[in-house]
Structure 1
Amino acid sequence: MSSDDDSPLDTVRAQVESEIPDDLNVSRVTYEGPELVIYTETPRKFAEREGLIGTLASTVRKRITVRPAAGTQASPAEAKPQILDLIPEDAGITNLQFYPTTGEVLIEAEKPGLVIGRRASTLREITQKVGWTPEVLRTPPMESSTVDNVRNFLIEERDERREFLERVGDQIHREPTHDTEWVRVTTLGCCREVGRASFILSTPETRILIDCGDKPGAEGEVPYLQIPEANPIPDLDAVVLTHAHLDHSALLPLLFKYGYDGPVYTTQATRDLMGLLQLDYLDVAAKEGRTPPYESAMVRKELKHTITVDYGNVTDIAPDIKLTFHNAGHILGSAVAHFHVGEGFHNVVFSGDVHYTDTRLFNGASNDFPRVETLIMESTYGRRNDYQTDQEDSERKLIQLINDTYEQDGTVVIPAFAVGRSQELMLVLEEAMREGKLPTMPIYLDGMIREATAIHTAYPEFLRDGLRQRILHDDENPFLADQFQQVDGGQEMREDIAGGEPCIILSTSGMVTGGPIMSWLELLGGDPKNTLVFVGYQAQGTLGRRIQSGRREIPFSDRGSRSEQLTLRFDVESVSGFSGHADRNGLEKFVETMHPRPEEILCVHGDESSTDQLSSGLYQKFDVRTYAPKNMETFRFD
C-alpha cells in the first residue's frame, strides 16, 4: 500500500509492481507527456506476456509503453539482421535506426502493417528476440520533403524532447489544487467573422488555448491574446490545434515567441501540414515586403513541442481535463476536439471546421460522443440559403466548364487551397480524364499543392477507405497520374504554360490573397478565352471575394502597391459543392444526429449573418440554448 505522502507517480508505480509477475523487473516508471513509460531489465519477458500491457493499462487507466533499461538489449549490430529476418521482405523497409538512450528502434517501411503483424505479433517477436522496443513509421509513396524534415528534426531532438515530455508528464499528472467548480470558454477570435480562430478553455485548475489563426485578407487582425483570460501566455497548460489551415494555425508559433514552453496537441498529419503552411506563410510575407510576426525558429520550437494524438484516443492533457480527437471530415488530420472536464463535471466539444457528409477524400465528420453539454460550432455556411450544390452536380458543372474552355482553346485557372480542395479536385480531374469525360491535358500544380499531396499519401489512415487502398498500391495511386505536373520553373515556366496548349492550373492561394495565383491573373486574366473557377469559400475582405462579386479592375503589384490596375477579361465562374465546410443543411444534420445532443451551442467562425441565422435556426429547430458570441466574450458553465 502507498502512504498519503506518496506522489501520484509513486502510487502508479506501486500499482504496476503489484500487478506484474515476480519474474518481471521494473527499474523505472515515468510519465512522458500523457503516456506512462515503464523501463525494465527484462524486456523480452514482458514481450512474452501477451495481454499484460493491456491489463496494466486498464488498471492504471493510462496508455503504457515498455522500454528496455540501458544495456539489457542486443547491440545494434547484433539486432539489425535479426529484426530484418523477422520482418517479411514485402514490408519494404527503408530505414532502421537505434536509440540506446530510450531503447527504441525506429523502423520505417512502405508497408508498416507487415512490420506490425497480426495483433502486433511481429513487434512482440522483435522485442522478445533483441530486447528493443520497435516504433514503426510509413514511408510515403510520394517523396515529401516536409515529412522527411519533420521526422529528421524530431529524431535529432529526441533526447531534449524526452526531457520535455517528462516535464509535461509531471504537469499533467500533478495533484489538483482546486475543485472543478466551473468551466469557462473565452472567445479570442473568429466570432461574427471567418478567420483568427482562437479560444481559451479554463477551469479553476487549468487554462488551454484552442487554435491560434490569422484572418485572411486582413493583415494585422490577430486573436485577442492580450486579454486577461489568455495571460500570462507562458503559464498556459496546453495548446490544442484542430487543423492546419492558417486561419486556425498561422499564429501558433507566436505563443513560443511570447514565452510559452508547453505542449501542442494535434494529429500527426496536422503536425506536418502545420509546419508546411506556417513556413510558407513566413515566405509569402517576406516576398511581399511584410515583416513576419515570428521567425522560422519558432516553427521548429513548436514542432518540437508537439504531442500527436490519434482519433479516438482519450488523452490526459491536464489534471482535470481529458482530450479526444474525432474525424472532422474537413482536411487531412482535421479534428473535432472533445474535452472531458473533471470527473464528469462538464463536456465541451469544439467542432473546428467540419464537413458532415463523405467526400472523395474523407469520411464525414464524427459526432458520436460519450457526453456533451456545450458545443462550439463553426458557421461558415450558416445562412438560411447557404445550400451547396450536390457534389456530383458540382463535378458535372466543373467538367462542363473545362470542356467549354478547352473547345475555345483556353486555359482554366482554379485558385485552390493547397490542403484539401486541391486533392479533392485532383481526384475528380484524374477520374474524368481516365473515363473520357475530359480530354487528357496537363494539370499544373503551382505553389505547395504537390508537397501537400505527398503528405496526404504519407498518412492514408486519415483518408476514405477506398482511396486509402488505392494509394497503397503504386499502380492505382491517383495522385501519381502522368498529367499532374509541378510548376517548378518559376515565372519563366508560367509564361511558357500561359502561351502554350490548353491546360488546367491549380494554384495557391485559394482566396487570391497572394502567392502564385497573382501571376496567373496577370498572365491569363486579359484573355476572354480563359476561365477562372472558384471552388472554395472566399472570405470577406479578400481579393477572391471581390472578383467573385463582379470586380474586374483589381489592384496589382508584387509589393501590394495600388498604383497598378489589372483588368480581368476572362470568364469568372463559381462551383459550390467542393468546399471542405458543411453547408447549412450539413450543419443542422451535424447537430440533429449528434449523440448526445448538446444543451447549448455557440455559433462561431462565420460572418455576422451566418452566425446569427444559424444560431436562430438551431434554437427553433432543436430547442437548445444558442448564442452568436462576439470576440472577447466569456461563457461560464457550472
Structure 2
Amino acid sequence: MSSVDTQLEELKAEIKSELPADISVSDVTYEGPELVIYTRDPKRFARNGDLVRDLAGKLRKRITVRPDPVALSPPERARDRILEVIPEEAGVTDLDFHEDTGEVVIQADKPGVVIGRNGETLREITREVGWTPEVVRTPPIESSTVSNVRDFLKQEREDRRQILERVGRQIHREELANEQWVRITMLGSCREVGRSSFILSTAETRVLVDCGEKPGTGEPPYMDIPEALGAGANSLDAVILTHAHLDHSALIPLLYKHGYDGPVYTTEPTRDLMGLLQLDYLDVERTEGRSPPYDPEMVREAIKHAIPIEYGDVTDIAPDVKLTLHNAGHALGSAIAHFHIGDGLYNVAFSGDVHYGETRLFDGAVNDFPRVETLVLESTYGGRNDYQTDQEDSERKLVEAINETHDRGGTVVVPTSAVGRAQELMLVLEEAMREGEIPSMPVHLDGMIWEATAVHTTYPEYLRSDLRDRIFGEEDNPFLADAFSQFDGDDDERREIVERDPAIVLAPAEMVTGGPITSWLRHAGPDPNSRLVFVDYQAQGTLGRRIENGLEEVPIDDGVGRSESIRLEADVDTFDGFSGHADRQGLENFVKTMNPRPEKILCVDGDERAVQDLSSGLYHEYHLRTFTPKNLETFRFR
C-alpha cells in the first residue's frame, strides 16, 4: 500500500470517529487539492451544516461530500423536487445530473438565490433528493467561450476526474527531500516587458508561474534550461497562471505539447479567457503567415487540466507548498499568487500585473498577507517619470478628443486589449453618451472584444459591487447599451465605416502587433479627420510604441500577405489613465502599505530603465533589499 493510500485509510478512520454513528463513510479520496468523502447518508450530512466545516477545520483540508449512487433519487423525480425548493426568482435555466459523482449542476440567472442564506437552499436540496448541487451562472450575454468550456468539461468529466485523482495523490505524497531551500529562476520578463515566466523551486517541488510570449517579437521564455523543461515537462509539479493576457499565458499549451500532464491553477474567469485568447493567438499566427507553436488540441488540454480556485482560498498544490490567489485589480480574474512554503519556512508573492487603485471595473489590488519575505513585483510603469494622469482626467481628455473628431466627421480608433481595457472604455463611453457628454454614435467592437465582454458578465462577482448590481438589473446592464455592436465584417466594411458618419472603434491588438487594428489603421490612418487613441502600454519594439514616438510612414500588412506603407495623417493621442497597470506612484503605494512589508523585492516585467528606477526608489525610500534580475538568474532565499 502506498503512503497516500495509507494516509487515506487513516483519514477515513478519523472522519468516521468524528461523525455521528448514523452517518456512513463509504470512501475517501483526493481530487486535486480537495478531500472527497462519499456517503450513503448525504441527507443526514445536509441536516447539520456544521459537520463539513468542523471536519475541514480539524483536518485542515478542503472537503467535498458526495453521495453514493444508492442514495440518489431518480433524476426525473429529483428535477421536479429541486425546482420546487429553489425560489422562482433564481431563474433556473438548466439542470444537469451526473450520476458518476452524484452531482447536479444547476445553471441559474441568480446563483445567490439558489445557494440561499449561508448555503441553506443547497443543503435543503441534498436533504430532499440526495444529490450534491453545484451552481453556475447563466451568462447575461450569451458567451460561446463559456458555453464551449462548460460543454467540453462536461464531455471530459471522466478524464478530468482521473486527472484530479492523480493530481491529488501527487499533492499529498510523502515528502522525500532531506533539506529545505527556496529558489526562484527567471525565465523571462527581466529588464524587458513580456514573456513573463518564473520557476519557484524547493528541494521537493518545482512550480512554473506564468508562461507568456514577448509582444512584438513572439519570443518565448527560456524554457529549455534544466530548471524548466530541460529536466522534462513532468518535472513540473504545477503551473500557476496569474491572468489571461498573452504576455503571461500564450505558451502554456506548449507545455502539454512537450508532455506536461499536470494542473494549471488559476481563477475560473482566467481559465475561460485563457482559452479565448490562446485560440485567437493561433488564428493571428496563421493569418500572418507564421507557424503556430502548438495546435488547438493543446489549448483544450490546458483547459481540461485547469483547477480553478477562488480569491482567498488556501490551497495545497504540493506536499510543501500552499497557494493563495488574491485580487490583482488588473484584469478579470487576475491574481497575485502567494506561496507558503514548508511549515512556516518561507513566503513568496508574485504580483503578476497589478493595479493598486480601483477602476470602473475592479477593486484595487490586495496587499494584505499573513507573511511575505520576498515579493516579485511588476515594474511596467516603474520609471522615475512614469506617473499616469488619473483616470478621471484621462476620461475628460478622451471625451474632448471624441467630440473634436465627431465634429469634423472622423472616426476614433482605439487599439486596446480585448480583455480589461476594452470593457473599461465601454463603461466610460456608455456613461458619456447617457449623460450627453458625447453625441450618440456607433461603437464598433472588433475582434474578440464582444466575446470577452460576455465572459465579464458571466463572472460579476469578480467586478466592483456597483457594476455587479447593474449587470443584474434587467434594464441597466451597461454592456448592452444600444451604441455597442459586434463587428464581424471584412476589410471593405471597415473602410466603409471610416468613410461614413462619425464612429468609435475598439479593436485589438493594443500594441498594433497584428489583429483587426491593422486593418482599421490602414483605412483611418491616412484620414486627417480621424484619430488614433492609445490607452494601453506600448512595449519597446512594437509598432504602437513607434507610432507614439512620432512614426509617420507606417508599415501595414495589406491583408493578402504583403506589406505596404501608409502616411499617418490622423491625430495620435495617448491617454494613460486607463492602464490596467499601476504607475510609479501606485507601485510605491502598493509596497508602502503592504502588510507585512517584504524583506526583498525582485523588480521584473519592465524595461531596463523602469526596473532600475523602481528598484532604486524602493531601496532608498523604504530601506528594502531590492534586485533587478536578468533572465536566467537564480535567487536562493533559504
Report the TM-score range of the alignment, normalised by the length of the smaller protein.
Answer: over 0.9
Match of 1:303 in 2: 303
Matched, 1:610 2:610: yes
Partner of 2:355: 355
Give the match for residue 192 of structure 1: 191
Give a deviation string over 1:101-135, Cα, whole Å, max 9, x none. 00000000000111111110110000000000000
Q: What is residue 238 of structure 1 aligned with on the other side?
A: 238
The one-character-per-residue Cα deviations of 1:345-386 (angstroms, maximum 9, x if unpaired) are 000000000000000000000000000000000000000100
- Give the secondary structure class of the aligned counterpart of 1:336: strand
Instruction: Tell me the number of residue pairs that the alignment of Structure 1 and Structure 2 aligns.
Output: 636
Write out per-residue CA displacement over residues 493-542 of structure 1, whole angstroms, 9 at most, x where no aligned residue.
21221121001111111110111111111111111010001111000111
Deviation track 1:442-479 (CA, whole Å, cap 9, x = no partner) reads: 11101110000000000000001110111111211100
Residue equivalent to 2:521: 521
What's the offset of the Cα at 1:8?
2.1
Task: Write the letter of the residue equivalent to 2:139.
Answer: P
Name the counterpart of 2:636: 636
**1-structure distance, mates of 2:558, 2:165:** 47
CA deviation after TM superposition for structure 1 residue 492, in Å: 3.3
> Residue 223 of structure 2 is aligned with which of 225, 230, 236?
225
- Deviation string, structure 1 residues 26-80 (Cα, Å, up to 9, x no partner): 0000000000100001111111112000000001111111101122110101111
What is the TM-score when the length of structure 1 is the normalising length?
A: 0.98
CA contact (8 A) 1:180 1:320 kept: no
Identity of aligned residues (%): 64
Cα drift, residue 489 of structure 1: 2.1
Other-structure match for 2:8: 9
Is the Cα contact below 8 Å between 1:141 and 1:474 reproduced in 2? no
Are 1:188 and 1:225, in contact at CA under 8 Å, matched by a contact in 2? yes
Cα deviations across residues 372-404 of structure 1 (Å, max 9, x unaligned)?
000000000000100000111110000001111
Q: Is the 8 A contact 2:535 2:579 kept in 1?
A: yes
Distance in 2 of aligned mates of 1:602 and 1:398 = 35
Amino acid at match of 1:549: N
Which amino acid letter does the alignment assign opposite residue 32 of structure 1? E
1:270 aligns with 2:231: no
1:181 offset after TM fit, Å? 1.4
Alignment-derived partner of residue 170 in structure 1: 169
Query: Using the alignment, how far apart are the partners of 1:358 and 1:547 within structure 2?
Result: 29
Deviation of 1:585 (Å): 0.3
What residue number does 1:442 align with?
A: 442
Q: Which amino acid in structure 1 is aligned with residue 225 of structure 2?
A: I
Partner of 1:453: 453
The alpha-carbon distance between structure 1 residues 180 and 132, as it changes in their structure 2 partners (threshold 3 A), is farther
- How far did residue 565 of structure 1 move? 1.4
- 2:50 matches 1:21: no
* Secondary structure of residue in 1 paired with 2:367: coil
Give the corresponding residue for 1:88.
Answer: 87
What 5-or-longer segments of structure 2 have no aligned partner? none
Whole-angstrom CA distance in 2 between matches of 1:558 and 1:365: 41
What is aligned with 2:115?
116
1:562 shift after superposition: 7.2
Bigger drift between 227-236 and 114-123 goes to: 227-236
What is residue 589 of structure 1 aligned with on the other side?
Answer: 589
Q: Equivalent residue for 2:128?
A: 129
- Mark the CA change 1:124 to 1:399 in structure 2 (over 3 Å): closer, same or farther: same
Displacement after TM superposition at 1:12 (Å): 1.7
Q: Which residue of 2 aligns with 1:103?
A: 102
Contact 2:615–2:627 (8 Å) recurs in 1: yes
In the alignment, is residue 215 of structure 1 matched against residue 214 of structure 2?
yes
* Paired AA for residue 222 in structure 1: P
CA contact (8 A) 1:327 1:365 kept: yes
Equivalent-residue separation in structure 1 for 2:222 and 2:138 (angstroms): 40
Q: Distance in 1 between matches of 2:488 and 2:188?
A: 36
Mean alpha-carbon deviation: is it higher for 46-55 or for 238-247? 46-55
Q: Which moved more, 1:547-556 or 1:236-245?
A: 547-556
Computed over aligned residues only, the root mean square deviation of the Cα atoms, in angstroms, reads 1.4
Q: Do the aligned partners of residues 59 and 389 (structure 1) sit closer, same or farther apart at CA in structure 2, a change above 3 Å counting? A: same
CA deviation string 1:2-39 (max 9, x = no partner): x9997222222222111001000000000000001000
| SS in structure 2 at match of 1:495 | helix
Q: Distance in 1 between matches of 2:277 and 2:293?
A: 14
Decide whether the 8 Å contact of 2:4 with 2:169 is kept in 1: no
SS at match of 2:603: strand
Which deviations, in whole Å up to 9, do the C-alpha atoms of 1:305-333 show, x marking residues without a partner? 00000000000000000000000000000
- Give the conservation status (yes or no) of the 8 Å contact 1:140–1:455: yes
1:276-315 correspondence to structure 2 within 5 Å: 276-315=276-315
Aligned to 1:256: 256
CA deviation string 1:560-610 (max 9, x = no partner): 977521111111111110000000000000000000000000000000000
* Cα distance in 1 for residues equivalent to 2:413 and 2:287: 22
Alpha-carbon distance in 1 for matches of 2:260, 2:361? 35
Q: For residue 71 of structure 1, what is the amino acid of its counterpart?
A: V
Within-5 A mapping of 1:412-427? 412-427=412-427
**Residue in 1 aligned with 2:509?**
509
For 2:457, the aligned partner's letter is T
Given residue 326 of structure 1, which amino acid in structure 2 is its aligned partner?
H
1:191–1:124 distance in 2 versus 1, CA, 3 Å:
same
Change beyond 3 A, Cα 1:338–1:563: closer
Segment drifting more, 551-560 vs 161-170: 551-560
Residues 4 and 174 in structure 2, CA contact (< 8 A), matched pair in contact too: no
- Residues 234 and 258 of structure 1 are in contact (CA less than 8 Å); yes or no, is this contact kept in structure 2? no
User: Is residue 115–residue 136 contact of structure 1 (8 Å, CA) maintained in 2?
Assistant: yes
Distance in structure 2 (CA, Å) of the matches to 1:475 and 1:336 = 34
Conservation of the 8 A alpha-carbon contact between 1:180 and 1:345: no
Hey, what's the Cα distance between the residues in 1 that align with 2:153 and 2:493?
A: 35
Q: Distance in 1 between matches of 2:302 and 2:84?
A: 38
User: Matches of 1:563 and 1:100 in 2, distance apart?
Assistant: 57
Distance 2:13 2:549 in 1: 67
Q: 1:539 to 1:6 in 2, by over 3 A?
A: closer
The 3-state SS of whatever aligns with 1:474 is coil
Equivalent residue runs for 1:486-565 within 5 Å: 486-558=486-558, 564-565=564-565
TM-score, L = length of structure 2: 0.98
Structure 1: which amino acid aligns with 2:222? Answer: Y
Residue in 1 that maps onto 2:566: 566
Q: Which residue of 2 aligns with 1:317?
A: 317
1:83 and 1:357 map into 2 onto residues whose CA distance is 43
For residues 22 and 363 of structure 2, what CA distance do their matches in structure 1 show?
A: 47
2:395 corresponding residue in structure 1:
395
